């Protein structure tokens, strides 16, 4: 793999850019792999990458029924934060946030990480108490957040309206090192690094069955033939229940659509990310000038990847009170993604009832921010059978009642 650098760009400029290699190869699947990862989204690719980097496991295939990063990884709104209440959540999200800090250097690929800061608005007295509690918890967890006043909110985001008629801004939970990254670049960077280690990324290869023998995984059936493996990782977000059923077990998740939209590009006016749970919306500005807008998940189970007028109307109507300028913008495009929700709004990173099958799902509306931490912990779990980052997120917690309740921290799409 050639390193990307300013020197390489200058050199290829003199060659009419004909010397660049493919970022990743497009091989046909082999008959056997040590590990198969189903799902070439951010979490699946990160898992494969850290299997190779941290444990030297490179005989790996990443199977994707569509195109690389074409699921939720390419359909989210790129927000990165770690200001969660519960200790296990804060640990894995802060691990991810810290890895994002140096991810461009680690992958030799610019993921456009922008630690522009993130504010979670408090617009009711209940939220004031909740976010102040979270700020204290974060301090104990070593996560750098702070409670800020309405005046400070206005300084950080001048376009905000503090005295909305229904929900005035009473303060906010501010994480200075939160921010955004380029979702496509994260997937592409991990894919390029995986391919350089000799892993096979196989697109347009749908898994149609999972073969087991005596309670142990033997391989998968795909649209490109039978493939054997010693270990199988299922990392397919909203379709996790479908794959689990193929393996013979059930998951406590439900799949719903999450919608978002972007406006026409405008001049820079907002250099922080603002989330408003009470009115159920959030907004940031992209590098191209678009206002990236999102809200809550649909209220019914579905697998659609389309937006709907009703949901956009609800989200925009809520945000107009907090950001009056939104009323004058034109919508550029809209989309939907399929998110997998657990009852406690926390993920599942776990062994399964089938030996050597591992599951990574349940990230709900906030999986993008967790990609590096999720991949790091899940790779450790698959390689060694245990991981401190993943221990609390096992399937057994639902049977034992050890819920990790993040319904407040994850109660809005983000």
Distance (Å, rounded) from C-alpha 69 to C-alpha 186?
Answer: 9
| CA proximity to 368, closest of 75, 52, 20, 135 | 75
The domain that holds 204 is classified in CATH as 3.50.50.60
Give, to the nearest 10 degrees, the angle between helix 371-384 and helix 87-101.
110
Q: Does the pLDDT at position 82 exceed 60?
A: yes
Number of domains in the chain: 1
pLDDT at 258: 86
Given pLDDT bands bounded at 50, 70 and 90, which one contains residue 409? Answer: low
The confidence score (pLDDT) of residue 414 equals 46
> Within a domain: residue 309?
no
Q: Which residues pair with 273 in a beta bridge?
A: 118
- Position 411 pLDDT exceeds 60: no
- DSSP letter for each residue of 231-249: EEEE--GGGHHHHHHHHT-
pLDDT at residue 412 tops 80? no
Q: Tens digits of per-residue pLDDT, 325-351?
A: 889 999 898 888 888 999 898 999 999
Q: How far apart are CA 209 and CA 372, in angstroms?
A: 28
Question: CA–CA separation, 259 vs 281, rounded Å?
Answer: 11
DSSP 322-362: H-GGGGGPPEEEEEEEEEEEETTS--EEEE-SSBTEEEEE-
Range of the domain at 359: 25-109+182-253+346-400
1, pLDDT greater than 90: no
pLDDT of residue 368: 94
Cα→Cα distances 250→254, 329, 353, Å: 11, 44, 10
Query: Residue 176 falls within a domain, yes or no?
Result: no
DSSP string over 30-68? -SEEEEEEE--SHHHHHHHHHHHHHH----EEEE-SSST
Whether the Cβ atoms of residue 365 and residue 412 lie closer than 8 Å to each other: yes
Structure tokens at 365: 């509306």
289 inside domain: no
Q: Check: CB of residue 176 under 8 Å from CB of residue 115.
A: yes
Whether 50 contacts 376, CB under 8 Å: yes
Residue 350 lies in a domain: yes
Q: CA 210, CA 358: separation in Å to the nearest integer?
A: 13
Residue 123 lies in a domain: no
Q: What is the mean pLDDT of residues 355-366?
A: 94
Residue 218 lies in a domain: yes
pLDDT tens digits along 98-155: 999 999 999 999 999 999 999 999 999 999 999 999 999 999 999 999 999 999 999 9
Per-residue tokens: 250: 């059930």
- Cα separation of 48 and 61, whole Å? 8
Share of the chain above pLDDT 90, in %: 74
């Amino acid at each position: 793999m050639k390193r990307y650098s300013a020197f390489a760009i200058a050199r290829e400029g003199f060659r009419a850019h004909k010397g660049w290699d493919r970022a990743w190869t497009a091989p046909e699947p082999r008959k056997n792999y040590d590990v198969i990862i189903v799902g070439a989204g951010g979490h699946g690719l990160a898992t494969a990458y850290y299997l190779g980097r941290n444990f030297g496991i490179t005989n790996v295939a990443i199977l994707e029924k569509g195109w690389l990063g074409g699921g939720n990884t390419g359909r989210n709104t790129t927000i990165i934060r770690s200001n969660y209440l519960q200790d296990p959540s804060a640990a894995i999200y802060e691990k991810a946030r810290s890895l994002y800090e140096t991810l461009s250097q680690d992958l030799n690929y610019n993921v456009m990480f922008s630690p522009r800061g993130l504010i979670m608005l408090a617009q009711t007295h209940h939220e004031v108490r909740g976010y102040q509690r979270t700020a204290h918890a974060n301090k104990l967890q070593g996560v750098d957040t702070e409670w800020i006043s309405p005046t400070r909110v206005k300084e950080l985001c001048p376009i905000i309206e503090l005295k909305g008629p229904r929900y005035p801004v009473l303060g906010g939970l501010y994480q200075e090192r939160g921010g955004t990254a380029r979702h496509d670049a994260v997937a592409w960077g991990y894919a390029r690094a995986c391919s350089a280690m000799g892993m096979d990324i196989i697109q347009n290869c749908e898994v149609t069955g999972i073969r087991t023998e005596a309670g142990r995984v033997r391989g998968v059936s795909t649209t490109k033939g039978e493939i054997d493996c010693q270990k199988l990782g299922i990392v397919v977000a909203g379709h996790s229940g479908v794959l689990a059923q193929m393996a013979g077990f059930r998951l406590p998740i439900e799949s719903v659509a999450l919608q978002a939209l972007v406006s026409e590009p405008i001049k820079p006016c907002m250099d922080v990310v603002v989330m408003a749970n009470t009115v159920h919306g959030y907004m940031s500005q992209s590098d191209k000038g678009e206002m990236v807008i999102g809200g809550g998940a649909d209220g019914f189970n579905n697998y659609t990847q389309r937006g709907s007028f009703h949901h956009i109307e609800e989200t925009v109507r809520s945000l107009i009170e907090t950001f009056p300028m939104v009323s004058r913008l034109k919508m550029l495009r809209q989309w939907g993604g399929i998110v997998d929700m657990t009852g406690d709004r926390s993920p599942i990173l776990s062994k399964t009832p089938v030996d050597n099958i591992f599951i990574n799902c349940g990230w709900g509306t906030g999986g993008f921010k967790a990609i590096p931490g999720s991949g790091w912990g899940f790779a450790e779990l698959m390689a060694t059978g245990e991981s401190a980052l993943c221990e609390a997120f096992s399937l057994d917690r639902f049977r034992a009642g050890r819920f990790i309740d993040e319904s407040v921290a994850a109660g809005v799409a983000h």
